[in-house]
Amino acid sequence: MSEYKEEIIMETYSPWEASLIQNLLQSYDIPSRFVREVPDILPFTIDGLGKIRIAVPSDKAEEAKKLLQDFQSKKETTEEQNNI
């Protein structure tokens, strides 16, 4: 029986961005979960305490990182086009 391992693929302070990324990963059948240092009880961050890490199974980490890179490059292209 193999041991289950996870890898952190992203960190953010935005719950909206974390949810967006989690939905993107789900659409490609990549399970993910949020790892938080502090419970989500305040609607704001205090000195980095609201950091959200997104973890995926280690065997899916490379695929997930590639999806995030593609997503980020498309996001940047769209932002550049909207600023022209």
The strand order across the sheet containing 33-36 reads 6-12, 52-57, 33-36
Domain ranges of the chain: 6-67
Better pLDDT: 79 or 7:
7
> CA-CA distance, 65 to 78, in Å (whole number)?
20
Is the pTM of the predicted complex or chain greater than 0.85?
no
Question: What does the pLDDT look like over 24-81, one tens digit per residue?
Answer: 999 999 999 999 866 556 555 565 667 889 999 999 999 999 999 998 887 767 767 7
Closest CA to 19 of 40, 49, 48, 42: 40
- What's the pLDDT at 34? 93
Considering the domain 6-67, what is its CATH architecture? 2-Layer Sandwich (3.30)
